[in-house]
């Protein structure tokens, strides 16, 4: 290698693109923090740099690399929906590919979306061994629209292109190398390695243009597309973009590149103009905004958390502990009796081993995680923990008793968190000597899997305690959302009106199957009654089989506690497949008769208005009362905690799509039937009247 020439900045200081020479190799460097998104300035800089290289006889090869944490992470999503600015990304990628001198992409971090398309426009790709490559456009309701759907199958093969584009999951450098997407994997300083590679290939002709390759798309069995669709039918249910991605990759195998890109553009523009992509793009930013805490004093610093204590080794306590263990944070877990402790730690180990059996973890990682666990019966061992999460029985007296004990032994400054789903954090905090250290960390079941974490800010919660819980949540792979104190916080509180109306609808004439079907057709993973059966119909039951005041009591009294008993609102076969239950139907009709409820035909539309519009109304109350910081946080809670279809953005975004006046009109239509359980949110009424929205 020749020695590095002095740095030559040919762009104005404001351009994110700079160039420098290393012998006869021109290094084009992007510096557009935080993720090197391909903004208009970056695109322009790239085109100019290519022109500079073409014009310079002293340049024989090029390297495109990025500074900072990552290679280009995609098109600049903030530009979407605005008037497009030249040069367009597809033209930039073409310009790179048509450069008369070899261009090498030097990939570190993540080459995503438009970033991967830029890399595909390059003639060669050199990647750091930790790099990840992917086409996440589908998660924004889109497809790779800069030639990606046509180039990727030509380079990586059809099957890999289908997997990458339709699922949006990135692949590691090794997998990318194995499928031909990456030409060399390197360790250590990336750019010098890429320059060395460029020097090796500087004289190779013809240039390896992805768009001209035929070898990987010849003789493709056309059944591969249908098979792939079928294999993933459940995953893709309700989404438009995965199918359009598959269609575009199929086109690559049927038409010449020049025609394929035109079709790709058409599909891209259709998706971009659609409601699903608008919802998914909105959600991308909603998720990131959720992490920002309003009203936090500027200099707030998080408290260090080196060790966590968890009280209770039941399903929740175990799941919560696993999150920290997996992140390498030691956990002391406390139980009342040896048997419960052994059972709890046994379940955790089995869960880890199940992940290992699926290839998600190595045996060594399982041992490492379990090695961070310290099970004990001695409360005093929590004394050196920086955060203590209690996950005991959901009862105020029990919680207060536990907090009283923690208060006596926890070290000063330790954060004391309750995993309560409903209870008043302020009441718990007021019962001990350090209310400023108390907050809620509401994990969702199964706690080691579900991404949502409601961090409940009490009236006296210290800012640094809140910040710590939010940052820690992110560190353990959760999506934390700040919630205020009220019965059920954001998520469970919104579940209540849905549950109340769904139950009333049963008596009025709807069946559990009809109500569940409406929710599933809407895009929810399951309806309220399948969910009740899964969670346990007996949750919150008073346990007195002679006290029968509603349908739930009646089911519990005859042992229909849900899936775990093989019967709940539905009957279940040995494979846990549900079927309608004549017994349940009889109970419902009996109750209706006893309560004098007139049964009638219920339309699907009424179900939507009474179970989904009411949730929007509750969400508006939550905003009105300051329980959620912003409407988009409500949406994040529902998408990550309850499986609200992300292609509908979340309840508040969806309400805006439907139109707030339409929501209000629907609720007014049902108001009489819903009384006295229902009352209007003033915020919703005001916004509807003023033609405003929650999220746009």
Binding pattern for the stretch 373-412 against ligand 3HC, x by CB under 6 A and - elsewhere = ----------------------------------------
| CA–CA distances in Å: residue 551 to residues 513, 529, 569, 593 | 15, 12, 9, 12
Q: How far is CA 417 from the centre of its chain?
A: 24
Q: How far is the CB of 9 from ligand 3HC (least distance, A)?
A: 25
**Known catalytic membership, residue 598:** no
Q: Minimum distance between the CB of residue 283 and ligand 3HC, rounded to whole angstroms?
A: 12
Q: Which is nearer to ligand 3HC, 268 or 591 (CB)?
A: 268
Cα–Cα distance for residue pair 139/322, rounded to 1 Å:
27
Rounded to 10 degrees, the C-alpha dihedral 481/486/488/492 comes to -60
Token pair 């493709």 is found at 220
Mask for 17-36, x = binds ligand 3HC (CB under 6 A): -----------------xx-
Stretch that binds ligand 3HC, among 76-84, 334-342, 411-419, 631-639 (CB under 6 A): 76-84
Task: Check binding of 112 to ligand 3HC (CB under 6 A).
Answer: yes
Separation between Cα atoms, residue 457 and residue 524, nearest integer Å = 29
Determine which residue in the list 136, 242, 260, 491 makes contact with ligand 3HC, applying CB under 6 A.
Answer: 136
Task: Say if CB 491 and CB 521 are below 8 A apart.
Answer: no
Assess 288 for contact with ligand 3HC (CB under 6 A).
Answer: yes
Smallest distance from the beta carbon of 341 to ligand 3HC, in angstroms?
36
Which of 61, 105, 118, 140 touches ligand 3HC (CB under 6 A)? Answer: 140
Which run of H or of E encompasses 571?
A: strand 570-572
Residue 169 Cβ, how far from ligand 3HC at the closest point, in Å? 12
Q: Draw the binding track, 506-545, toward ligand 3HC (x: CB under 6 A; -: no contact).
A: ----------------------------------------
Whole-angstrom Cα distance, residue 296 to residue 585? 53
- CA-to-CA dists, residue 636 to 45, 55, 224, 641, 649, angstroms: 36, 50, 35, 8, 9
77 exposure class (CB count in 10 Å sphere: 0-12, 13-18, 19+): middle
Catalytic residue among 97, 137, 508, 609: 137
CB 145 → ligand 3HC: shortest distance, Å?
4
**By CB under 6 A, residue 499 contacts ligand 3HC:** no
How many CA within 13 A on the CB side of residue 661? 4
Reading the block at residue 278, the tokens are 């608008």
Pairing between β-strand 479-483 and β-strand 452-456 as defined by DSSP bridges: parallel
Selected binder of ligand 3HC within 16, 23, 45, 74 (CB under 6 A): 74
Q: Is residue 76 near ligand 3HC by the rule CB under 6 A?
A: yes
Encoded tokens for 58: 């002293």
Known catalytic residue at 264 = no
Which residue is catalytic, options 4, 67, 79, 117? 117
Q: Is 185 a residue that touches ligand 3HC (CB under 6 A)?
A: no
Does residue 46 touch ligand 3HC according to CB under 6 A?
no
**For residue 556, cis peptide bond before it (omega within 30 degrees of 0):** no
Nearer to ligand 3HC, 115 or 319 (CB): 115
Per CB under 6 A, does 319 bind ligand 3HC?
Answer: no
List alpha helices for 523-659, DSSP H.
528-535, 551-557, 582-594, 604-607, 614-624, 631-642, 651-658
Residue 477 CA to residue 491 CA, distance in Å, equals: 19
Q: Is 486 helix (H, G, I), strand (E, B) or coil?
A: coil
Say whether residue 37 binds ligand 3HC (CB under 6 A). yes
Minimum gap (Å) between residue 308 Cβ and ligand 3HC = 23
Which residues within the stretch 115-134 sit at the binding site for ligand 3HC (CB under 6 A)?
117
Q: Which stretch binds ligand 3HC (CB under 6 A): 108-116, 232-240, 256-264, 659-667?
A: 108-116
* SS3 state at 172: strand
Residues that bind ligand 3HC (CB under 6 A): 34-35, 37, 70, 73-78, 89, 110, 112-114, 117, 136-137, 140, 142, 144-146, 148, 288
What positions carry a catalytic annotation? 117, 137
């Amino acid at each position: 290698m020749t020695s590095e020439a002095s740095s030559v900045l040919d762009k104005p200081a404001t351009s994110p693109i700079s160039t420098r020479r290393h012998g006869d190799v021109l290094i084009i460097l992007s510096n557009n923090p935080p993720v090197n998104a391909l903004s208009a300035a970056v695109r322009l800089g790239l085109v100019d740099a290519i022109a500079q290289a073409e014009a310079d006889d002293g340049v024989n090869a090029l390297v495109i690399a990025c500074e900072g944490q990552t290679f280009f992470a995609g098109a600049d999503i903030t530009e979407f929906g605005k008037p497009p600015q030249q040069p367009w990304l597809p033209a930039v990628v073409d310009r790179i590919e048509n450069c008369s001198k070899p261009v090498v992409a030097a990939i570190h971090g993540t080459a995503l979306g438009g970033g991967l398309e830029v890399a595909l426009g390059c003639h060669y790709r050199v990647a750091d061994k930790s790099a990840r490559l992917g086409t996440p456009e589908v998660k924004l309701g889109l497809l790779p629209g800069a030639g990606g759907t046509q180039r990727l199958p030509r380079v990586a093969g059809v099957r890999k292109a289908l997997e990458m584009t339709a699922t949006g999951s990135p692949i590691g450098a090794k997998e990318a190398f194995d499928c031909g997407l990456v030409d060399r994997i390197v360790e250590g300083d990336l750019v010098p390695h890429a320059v060395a590679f460029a020097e090796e290939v500087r004289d190779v002709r013809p240039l390896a243009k992805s768009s001209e390759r035929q070898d990987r798309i010849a003789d493709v069995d056309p059944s591969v597309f249908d098979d792939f669709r079928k294999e993933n039918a459940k995953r893709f249910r309700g989404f438009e973009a995965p199918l359009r991605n598959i269609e575009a990759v199929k086109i690559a195998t049927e038409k010449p590149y020049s025609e394929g890109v035109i079709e790709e553009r058409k599909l891209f523009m259709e998706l971009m103009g659609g409601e699903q992509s608008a919802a998914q793009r909105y959600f991308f930013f909603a998720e990131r905004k959720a992490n920002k805490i309003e009203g936090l004093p500027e200099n707030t610093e998080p408290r260090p958390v080196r060790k966590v204590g968890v009280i209770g080794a039941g399903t929740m306590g175990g799941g919560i502990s696993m999150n920290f263990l997996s992140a390498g944070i030691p956990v002391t877990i406390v139980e009342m009796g040896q048997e419960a402790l052994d059972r709890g730690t046994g379940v955790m180990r089995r869960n880890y081993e199940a992940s290992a059996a699926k290839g998600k973890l190595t045996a060594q990682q399982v041992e490492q995680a379990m090695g961070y666990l310290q099970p004990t019966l001695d409360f005093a061992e929590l004394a050196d923990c920086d955060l203590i999460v209690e996950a005991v029985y959901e009862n105020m007296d029990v919680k207060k008793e536990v907090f009283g004990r923690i208060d006596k032994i926890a070290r000063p400054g330790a954060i004391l968190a309750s995993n309560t789903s409903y209870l008043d954090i302020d009441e718990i905090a007021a019962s001990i000597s350090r209310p400023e250290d108390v907050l809620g960390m509401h994990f969702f079941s199964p706690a080691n899997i579900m991404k949502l974490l409601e961090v409940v800010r009490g009236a006296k919660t210290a800012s640094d305690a809140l910040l710590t819980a939010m940052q820690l949540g992110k560190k353990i792979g959760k999506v934390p959302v700040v919630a205020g104190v009220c019965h059920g916080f954001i998520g469970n509180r919104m579940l209540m009106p849905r549950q109340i109306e769904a139950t009333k609808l049963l008596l009025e004439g709807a069946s559990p199957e009809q109500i569940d079907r409406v929710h599933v057709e809407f895009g929810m993973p399951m309806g309220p009654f399948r969910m009740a059966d899964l969670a346990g119909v007996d949750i919150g039951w008073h346990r007195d089989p002679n006290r029968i005041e509603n349908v739930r009591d009646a089911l519990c009294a005859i042992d229909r506690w849900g899936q775990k008993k093989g019967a709940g609102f539905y009957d279940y076969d040995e494979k846990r497949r549900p079927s309608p239950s004549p017994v349940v139907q009889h109970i419902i009709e009996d109750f209706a008769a006893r309560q004098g409820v007139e049964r009638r035909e219920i339309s699907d539309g009424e179900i939507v208005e009474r179970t989904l519009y009411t949730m929007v109304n509750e969400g508006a109350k939550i905003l009105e009362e300051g329980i959620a910081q912003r409407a988009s946080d409500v949406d994040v809670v529902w998408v990550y905690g309850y499986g609200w279809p992300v292609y509908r953005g979340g309840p508040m975004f969806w309400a805006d799509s439907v139109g707030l006046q339409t929501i209000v009109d629907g609720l007014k239509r049902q108001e009489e039937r819903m009384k006295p359980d229902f009352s209007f949110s003033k915020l919703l009424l005001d916004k509807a009247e003023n033609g405003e929205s929650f999220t746009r």
